[in-house]
Amino acid sequence: MANAPQGSGRPGASLSARVQGIEPSGIRRIFELMATMEDPINLSIGQPHYDPPVELVEAACRAIRDGKNRYTVTQGLPELNAAILADIEHRHGRRPETCLLTAGVSGGLVLTFQCLLDPGDEILLPDPGFVMYRHLAALCGANVRYYDVYPKRPGGRFSVDLDEIERMCSERTKIVFVNSPSNPTGGVLTRAEIEGVCRIANRCGAYVVSDEIYDFFCYVDDYASPVTYADRCIQLGGYSKTYGIPGWRMGYATGPAAVLDAMKTLQQFSFVCAPAPFQHALLEAIPRIDLRPRHTEYLHKRDLVTRSLHPVYGLRAPEGSFYAFPQLPVVNGAPVDGAKFLQAALQQKLLIVPGKSFSARDTHFRISFAAEDAVLQRGIDVLNDLARQFA
């Protein structure tokens, strides 16, 4: 093989076994498809529709001009670490031991899984859930078990069944994973549910890893984090969605030093540090930014989607994030084929994500309401038309 041209040989022969089971994200495929379409109605998008606040953009430009372009220390600027920890203590009544700036929540997930999961360890993941989790767990050779977060009755909430988690959690369980507000369901776990999950994990000696990237987009009054209740919590937070800066690759992890120190060491040998000028920009600008109007705007979008899709799809109001996860139209007692529904939507230029991308089940689909109201309305009209077509 030494002299073989690149890309020749047996298919996949040069790839590690570890990556051969990993398929490209279905969402990426939709992204590529969209590039070929004229005037698509894109409700497949996983980022806010707005640009970052001007104060933040200016702070970033200033940081770059002022020469803040070198590496920072691995864990990130100490002042930013301190500000994050103070904010968490303020919001959740408990101060995590330490903090690490990461290359987005994605970077935090890679480091957390690599540092906690050995081959054969169990991790409990939500079904449906964000696609990245299961692939990163598989890279570690971990056994993934899924707990069900689908509504237990028609019109019910997307939430956890604590009895099920209790049955699944054992001394083999290394991580109980929580994502609230959820991608793709829009569900937010209640304080009692969060407390319940943490109680079970505490009893089993498991870590609770909490992906809180959508914490800003919460439409219920009480937002609870495992930080408050878990004995061993790795909390992952991010700036991509809140500030409209997914391309900046900024996130953070908090938790016990015993784990975070290992994550820091691994970051030294992988991502090195979170982007330096953006750390400076966030540190400087966040105290001056008022995002409340954005929150109100997204609450309105959530209400528009719910009001418009409830009558035909029975959609219940998402409690958080900017996703809704309606059920596929049901014909003769069974949901219509997800692929056919997606295809029919595409014919009307509407891009949505099949539930199958997030789940073993093919009963739902995800729409993102992070779009201009006019685009959202066009998408809603197509969806209501599709429901009639499939009925």
Q: Which residues bind ligand PMP (CB under 6 A)?
A: 46, 104-106, 130, 179, 183, 211, 213, 238, 240, 246, 251
Nearer to ligand PMP, 251 or 277 (CB): 251
Which residues, listed in sequence order, are joined to residue 101 by a DSSP beta bridge? Answer: 252
List the structure tokens of 190.
């209640």
CB 229 within 8 A of CB 195: yes
Beta strands across the sheet bearing 143-148: 98-102, 251-255, 233-238, 207-211, 173-179, 122-127, 143-148
Q: Is 109 helix (H, G, I), strand (E, B) or coil?
A: helix
List the structure tokens of 157.
């909430």
Nearer to ligand PMP, 211 or 387 (CB): 211
Q: How far is the CB of 273 from ligand PMP (least distance, A)?
A: 15
Nearer to ligand PMP, 75 or 308 (CB): 75
Q: How far is the CB of 124 from ligand PMP (least distance, A)?
A: 16
Nearer to ligand PMP, 128 or 335 (CB): 128
What is d(CA 212, CA 178) in angstroms, rounded to the nearest whole number?
Answer: 8
Q: Is 179 helix (H, G, I), strand (E, B) or coil?
A: strand
Specify the pairing of strand 251-255 against strand 233-238.
Answer: antiparallel
Q: How far is the CB of 17 from ligand PMP (least distance, A)?
A: 26
What is d(CA 88, CA 274) in angstroms, rounded to the nearest whole number?
Answer: 20
Nearer to ligand PMP, 226 or 238 (CB): 238
Q: How far is the CB of 85 from ligand PMP (least distance, A)?
A: 19
Q: How far is the CB of 153 from ligand PMP (least distance, A)?
A: 25
List the structure tokens of 51.
């640009």
Q: Could you list the beta-strand ranges (E) of 116-249.
A: 122-127, 143-148, 173-179, 207-211, 233-238
Residue nearest to ligand PMP (CB): 104
Q: From residue 63, give the alpha-carbon distance in Å to each of 51, 60, 73, 153.
A: 19, 5, 16, 52
Q: How far is the CB of 74 from ligand PMP (least distance, A)?
A: 18
Q: How far is the CB of 104 from ligand PMP (least distance, A)?
A: 3
Nearer to ligand PMP, 111 or 213 (CB): 213
What is d(CA 17, CA 13) in angstroms, rounded to the nearest whole number?
Answer: 9
Nearer to ligand PMP, 215 or 284 (CB): 215
Q: How far is the CB of 126 from ligand PMP (least distance, A)?
A: 10
What is d(CA 306, CA 316) in angstroms, rounded to the nearest whole number?
Answer: 6
Q: From residue 197, give the alpha-carbon distance in Å to each of 181, 231, 270.
A: 15, 12, 32
Nearer to ligand PMP, 109 or 201 (CB): 109
